[in-house]
């Protein structure tokens, strides 16, 4: 066993011990003022986008029904300044805009090849509301294409409000500002509008069940001067993993959102996990929370599709990230994420064993992850 592998074993063992003794993951649901388990979050990436067309009320509701703690609406602006839920400014890949407005495109280039793009900012909200969503990916079900409208941010806020009124559950929202610089250049910068909408639903400070995220830095720095709502810096480059960079992030955000392999890398072939990076530990040492993106279990979208243990049981991927110490994960499959989280939360079976609600299964799951993770790394090829 080389030094790096031995350190990985010790690190995962330490995580498991701290989870059990300190209760980092094993906290009762009553431990949060929101009524959800704040210490570990299942974040429905674009809603339950593995099962329904992304960024639709149906996808968000499905995620809520299956146990998501937060739902994620990506935000872009319409021509008349309304914030709608789409992942890109161009909407032809996720709506029927090409059929309904065939002449309302802009010509641009992609890798030197002319392409047609239909942009949300060229349409009013009234026009957007005539569109219907469709599945973006070929390998996912298209059974729900054409059924759902494109929601506004207000409609998402109304959805979680109604869930609270009906069930008592508090569902958080995790909006991302998409392409803020490009919007600003179009005269459609919307940070202030975003804050105004959130304030209208009581989201005004760090106690509210909301995070605002972005890959860009200038808009987050601006938001940090305007609100106490918690901000999250999304990350995708190796430069962002450096401690000095994390220290800079700490001056204006609550947490970071790294790409999965910035936490759990694989070998070049992609079929074997390597030791976790120091990113989670470095971030935690600075007081930054870590919400990793995006856990997927289907086809070419799954970054760990060739890791044998994950192919055999997709839930092992979720367990591995919990063992790596992250504070939450974005996933297209929030049902699986919630099921795995449930293995670690003491209290869901309270009374079954009297008192704490700790069960053999929860302890077994807690200890199983380091064993699995180590076995995955030491597997002979």
Q: Which residues are catalytic?
A: 45, 87
Tell me how far CA of residue 50 lies from CA of 58, 136, 298, 326, 327, in angstroms: 12, 10, 8, 22, 22
What distance in Å separates the CA atoms of residue 39 and residue 19, rounded to the nearest whole number? 11
Instruction: Tell me which residue of 146, 143, 151 sits closest to 134, measured CA to CA.
Output: 146
Instruction: Tell me which residue of 183, 163, 210, 172 sits closest to 83, measured CA to CA.
Output: 183
Other C-beta atoms lying within 10 Å of the C-beta of residue 37: 24
Q: Which H or E element spans position 230?
A: strand 230-234
By the 8 A CB rule, do 265 and 277 touch? yes
Tell me how far CA of residue 55 lies from CA of 6, 27, 172, 244, 373, in angstroms: 43, 31, 15, 35, 33
What distance in Å separates the CA atoms of residue 336 and residue 295, rounded to the nearest whole number? 10
- The CA-based angle 274-275-280, given to 5 degrees, is 125
3-state DSSP: the chain helix, strand, coil percent, rounded to 5?
A: 40, 15, 45
By the 8 A CB rule, do 257 and 291 touch? yes
What distance in Å separates the CA atoms of residue 347 and residue 27, rounded to the nearest whole number? 7
What distance in Å separates the CA atoms of residue 145 and residue 135, rounded to the nearest whole number? 6
What distance in Å separates the CA atoms of residue 11 and residue 18, rounded to the nearest whole number? 10
């Amino acid at each position: 066993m080389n030094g790096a592998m031995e350190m990985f074993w010790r690190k995962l063992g330490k995580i498991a011990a701290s989870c059990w003794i300190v209760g980092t993951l094993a906290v009762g649901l009553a431990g949060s003022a929101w009524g959800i388990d704040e210490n570990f979050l299942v974040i429905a990436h674009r809603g339950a986008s593995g099962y329904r067309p992304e960024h639709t009320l149906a996808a968000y509701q499905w995620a809520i029904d299956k146990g998501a703690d937060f739902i994620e609406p990506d935000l872009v602006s319409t021509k008349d300044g309304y914030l709608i839920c789409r992942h890109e400014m161009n909407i032809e890949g996720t709506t029927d805009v090409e059929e309904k407005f065939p002449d309302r495109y802009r010509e641009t280039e992609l890798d030197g090849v002319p392409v047609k793009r239909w942009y949300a900012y060229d349409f009013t909200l009234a026009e957007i509301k005539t569109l219907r969503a469709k599945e973006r990916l070929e390998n996912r079900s298209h059974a729900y294409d054409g059924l759902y409208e494109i929601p506004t941010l207000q409609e998402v806020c109304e959805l979680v409000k109604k869930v609270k009124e009906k069930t008592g559950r508090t569902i958080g929202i995790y909006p991302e500002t998409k392409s803020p610089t490009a919007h600003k250049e179009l005269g459609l910068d919307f940070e202030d509008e975003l804050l105004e909408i959130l304030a209208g639903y009581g989201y005004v400070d760090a106690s509210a069940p909301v995070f605002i995220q972005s890959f860009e830095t200038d808009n987050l720095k601006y938001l940090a001067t305007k609100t106490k709502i918690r901000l999250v810096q999304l990350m995708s480059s190796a430069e962002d993993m450096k401690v000095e960079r994390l220290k800079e992030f700490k001056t204006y955000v609550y947490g970071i959102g790294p790409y999965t392999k910035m936490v759990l890398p694989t070998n070049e072939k992609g079929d074997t996990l390597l030791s976790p990076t120091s990113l989670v530990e470095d971030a935690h040492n600075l007081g930054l929370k870590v919400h990793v993106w995006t856990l997927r279990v289907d086809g070419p979208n799954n970054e760990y599709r060739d890791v044998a243990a994950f192919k055999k049981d997709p839930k092992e991927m979720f367990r591995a990230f919990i063992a790596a110490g992250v504070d939450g994960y974005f996933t297209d499959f929030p049902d699986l994420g919630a099921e795995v989280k449930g293995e670690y939360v003491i209290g869901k079976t309270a009374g079954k064993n009297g008192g704490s609600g700790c069960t053999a299964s929860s302890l077994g799951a807690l200890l199983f992850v380091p064993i699995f993770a180590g076995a995955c790394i030491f597997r002979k090829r």
